[in-house]
Amino acid sequence: MESEAAGARRAAVLGKPIAHSLSPVLHRAAYTELGLTGWSYDSFEVDEGALPGFLEALGPEWAGLSLTMPLKRAVIPLLDEISDTAASVDAVNTLVLTEDGRRLGDNTDIPGMVAALREHGIEQVDSAAILGAGATASSALAALARICTGEVVAYVRSEARAAEMRQWGERLDVEVRTADWADAARALHAPLVIATTPAGTTDALAAAVPERPATLFDVLYEPWPTELAARWSMSGGAVVGGLDLLVHQAVLQVERMTGRAPAPLEAMRRAGEQALAAR
């Protein structure tokens, strides 16, 4: 057991807006379960302009930071080292601060997605569909690079977004075909559908869920379930939710920041579920 005498360590989540973040709930639950009584985890509203000054002011007690929008790309020039995973999508959601003052950037969203799918029995698929083309969609493509053996079809709203997704496919060595959002109902017949769009965007697709759907990974966790996820579940399909992703990526962050593994997945999930229910 690590005691107060071992020295206080700090970590936090940064972003703007930040009030909605569940990261403090998840990380604090992990510290409690691991007996890290000297550890604290906070949240700070920080934008791109304030990030360099925030990092410069950190003392030796700081172990790491979780980064959310709009900082995942802005932090990269401020790092000493970046993992291949983070570099593959130009996005860092985890900053580990070493004892000698180095800043190491990583991305736990991508392995977190793979772990969440694996927990639901999805080890490999021969094709997949992605709804949307934002930052989360590029992480989804990077995850699919690890588990999808065939084509990924991305349903998008504009040719500019389509071109972006094809570029990500080339970069990540994933076979990507793009299709118009107007045809998004076709996506629902894929062996794996990853919905990366904002709340409400896929509601109209709920009526188009097939009789025997396969697996839906909806990255939202609030509100939950989405209309699409609820209909999918009612039709007997497997559903992986945003909380699954959030917990799995946080597990990896806790392990990297504290050096303690395995992080307590179930305790963190329970804390997240309780926090969402309380909202």
| End-to-end CA, the chain | 33
205 three-class SS: helix
Is pLDDT above 80 for 247? yes
Is pLDDT above 60 for 4? no
Closest by CA position to 106, among listed 79, 140, 145: 79
Q: What confidence score (pLDDT) does residue 7 get?
A: 72
**Is 16 an annotated catalytic residue?**
no
The two beta strands, 81-82 and 94-97, are unpaired
Closest by CA position to 28, among listed 11, 44, 45, 5: 11
CA–CA distance from 141 to each of 49, 101, 132, 226 (Å)?
29, 33, 11, 22
pLDDT tens-digit map of 102-138: 999 999 999 999 999 999 999 999 999 999 998 899 9
Is pLDDT above 80 for 198? yes
* Averaged pLDDT for residues 182-208: 97
pLDDT tens-digit map of 34-93: 999 999 999 999 999 999 999 999 999 999 999 999 999 999 999 999 999 999 999 999
- 240: how many CB neighbours lie within 10 A of its CB? 22
Catalytic position from the list 9, 10, 72, 248: 72
Q: What is the mean pLDDT of the chain?
A: 96
Q: What confidence score (pLDDT) does residue 6 get?
A: 53
Q: What confidence score (pLDDT) does residue 3 get?
A: 38
